[in-house]
Amino acid sequence: METPYNQSDLLKEFSPHLERTSVLQMIWIVFLLGVIGLGGFALYTQISKGHIVTGMRDNVVWGIYIVNFIFFMGVSYAGALISGSLHLFRAEWRKPIIRIAEFITIIALLIGPCYILLCIGRLDRLPYLVLFGRIQSPITWDVIAISTDIFGCIIFLYLALLRDIAQIRDFKEISLPKWKKKMYSFLALGYTGTPEQQKRLQNATDIMAAMVISIAIIVYSVLAWIFSVTLQPGWHSTIFGPYFVIAAVFSGCGIMIITMWLFRKIYHLEHYITRRHFVNVGVLMLVLAALFGYFTFSDYLTKWYGSEKNDELLIQLLFKKYYWLFIISNYVGVLLPMIVVGIPKFRTINNITFSAIVVVLALWINRYLIVVPTLESPYLPIQDSRPEWLFYNATWVEWSLTAAGVAVFALLMTLASKFIPVVNVSEMGDKPVPEEEIL
Amino acid sequence: MSVKWVTSQFLKKKFYSKVNVPKAKRIYQMKKEFHLIIIISLFALTLSHQTAFAREESDTAAQISPSLSLNYWCNSNDSATLTARIFFNRDKDMICLKNAVISFSATDGNKIVPLGVAVADSTGNAVLTCSTASLPAKEGMITYNADFTGAGKYLPATGSFSAKPAKLEVSFYEQDSVRYIKVTGTVKDAKGNPVPFADQGIKLYVPSLFRPLPIGEITLDKDGAGNMEFPKTLVGDSLGNITVMAEIEENDVYGNVVASNSIPWAISKHAIQAERPSRELWTPVAPIWMIITLIIMLMGVWAHYVYAVVQLVKIKKSSKKDPYAIK
């Protein structure tokens, strides 16, 4: 059984990160703000000139904005599933990394829906979705589901942070500005760790952990159903719900490993986040890679053998125009984590992180291949079939806003780590749960 | 001047300025600083390039030569409707010039009569209706002109159309309990006197939701008259009123000629009380099972949220009872 850490020592170690921001961190933040500024300029261009500055046209009405939306939502749900499950199963090894999963959940969830707003041509009609929304529409389900999920994840994150907030409030050796002290004091809700408070907090956290897991599955399935209830080649599939959920957790594992690697390097957490954590999340990624590969194969195989005219056109498009993207997404992205994590010799921190980067890229491409080629092979041909109207190429505006989304993610992760330690100080200080009590 | 040379000069300068620091550390620090400067410079360069590019694009906006097309419709009340459309092409797209002021005039080759001005709408169309009775004509032919004098970067443009005024009339009659539509047509001779419009094909329409519905075609005889039986299946308004339109389309000499008349001979359209739609996926009211499922799911989720929030409230309250709690 592992020895619990001393909470004061841990807080002392993380205090410098909460107290001040180094020059390098400032430069990093300024750089991210610069990328966000470029995104702001792209957004201004899009609003002033209209969606004509994007690659989206009458035929391909969804582009990389929707891809980014699916991607960030997937990352968020993966964070929720990982943090919720690890919490419920009381996995001891979760303690140093669970905070990272919680940050990923809420930050990705706040960024994802913004891409939908970028995609909408007439934002002034957005209230109609609430005023005249029909319950039968999957778009309405999605709006309800995402807003419900945002509330749930905020509550879960708050519950998970409460003990650490109270610890920082009570920690005397930390020198924080007055406003920050007041903020911690306000957010701590007077938590002092009495048996009654501990019991209430534990109950609420357990319930919310279970809720965020189930909501994540439902919400990402709803997102998949937006596609699969549509009679479009490549989308109208019964396995899209579970396929999306698997893909989401798969990509989320990748983001989790990359973030763990970055925080480990930046905050020198080598003592807390060890090879064991990378291997454990890596094994989860391996299992998900196998499931993802199985679902992908099953989906395309039935379409291929079905030989329906439009499905065949889509598969031809994937194997010709998008050949390399298809190979990277569905072969490299699946096989690499299996090889790296599956063979003990390759199972190093850097190798696992590299395979996670490839997985994240492959999964982004996978979403691109789900959205764009389908819209490029519609059932009804459009009247004016100019290549630039029929096919999709993302413009600098879309790429800038994509980069801005990634920058916002990185910025919020950085700011979050300045607000609360990236390692769960309270749980690290708890007595480890004996193995036989798990489950 | 290569980047390598700049790097070496920079390092040399920095190196001699800090002689007391160990050499390896100095070089490491200088390299670090230099890379930082390069990154910031590249970023600033990217931003400034974007701004400069945008400015350059707006400054070098070339003059645009728009096209102007003129369409002509001769009406039954000795008037003509002139429609000028002004537009230009950019990247294979047609862009209409909204608010362009178009001047219309008529001429026989010698005398020019101004007809008026109209402003183009968002589709680039400027429409003017004028009387054709006293317009100058050469052997009965009137030339209509539409002129755009230019504005800002848009160059002037003109369009013209020549046509002889023609006139159609639609009337209705009943013979032996059979109802007929009658169309008569006249044109003006060289002296300006009306003469029958013989051997001319006329298309008949009634208005419908998207575009006029064709109901038949007749040819005018030597007396300039033609008829066809009134269709019994046409649906009019609640009183049975229907408008029948007669048209000559894009004739080389007469252009577009149109006339219309109304008669209460059509089948009356009765307002039918719409039944309450059944609960389906495609009707405005959702199926009951769907509403119940949604309510159960939302209530289930939100009840747990409320529970968690209540626990937080109780934690807050319990801290007030706790004498050791931070207030």
B36, A27 Cβ separation under 8 angstroms: yes
Which of B287, B301, B325 minimises the CB distance to A148?
A: B301
Cβ atoms within 10 Å of B37's Cβ, excluding its own: 11
Cβ within 8 Å of residue B61, ≥6 positions away: B153
Which of B46, B294, B305 minimises the CB distance to A135?
A: B294
Provide DSSP, B225-271.
EEEEEPPTT-B-STT--EEEEEEEEEETTTEEEEEEEEETTSBPPPP
Hunting for tokens 């931003």 — which residue is that?
Answer: B47
* Contact: A204, B307; criterion CB under 8 Å: yes
C-alpha separations of B243 from B76, B119, B218, B270 in Å: 14, 30, 17, 18
Terminal C-alpha separation, chain A: 17
Which chain B residues contact residue A208 at CB under 8 A?
Answer: 304-305, 308
Can you tell me the mean pLDDT for B195-208?
89
b/e string for A195-234 if b means 16 or more Cβ within 10 A?
Answer: eebeebbeebbbbbbebbbbbbbbbbbbbbbbbbbeebbb
In 3-state terms, what secondary structure has residue B128?
strand
Which chain A residue is nearest to residue B32, measuring alpha carbons? Answer: A24
User: In which band, very low, low, confident or very high, does the pLDDT at B97 lie, cut at 50, 70 and 90?
Assistant: confident
**Residue of A211, A219, A385, A389 to mutate, testing the B interface (most B Cβ within 10 Å of its Cβ):** A211
pLDDT winner (highest mean) among A432-436, B65-69, B169-173: B169-173
Nearest CA to B6 out of B44, B28, B38 is that of: B38
- Against a cut of 0.80, is the pTM above it? no
pLDDT value of residue B123: 85
Task: Give tens-digit pLDDT for A213-225.
Answer: 898 888 889 999 9
In 3-state terms, what secondary structure has residue B102?
strand
Nearest CA to B264 out of B298, B284, B238, B290 is that of: B238
- The answer to whether residue B92 neighbours chain A at the CB level (below 8 Å) is yes
Task: Give tens-digit pLDDT for A302-341.
Answer: 888 888 888 888 888 888 889 999 999 999 999 999 999 9
Can you tell me the mean pLDDT for A75-100?
83
User: In which band, very low, low, confident or very high, does the pLDDT at B22 lie, cut at 50, 70 and 90?
Assistant: low
Beta bridge partners, B202, equal B218
ipTM above 0.95, yes or no: no
Spacing of C-alpha B224 from chain mean position:
39
pLDDT tops 50 at residue B246: yes
Task: Give tens-digit pLDDT for A98-141.
Answer: 888 889 989 999 999 999 999 888 888 888 888 888 889 888 99
Which of B286, B320, B326 minimises the CB distance to A136?
A: B286
Nearest CA to B259 out of B244, B272, B273, B274 is that of: B244
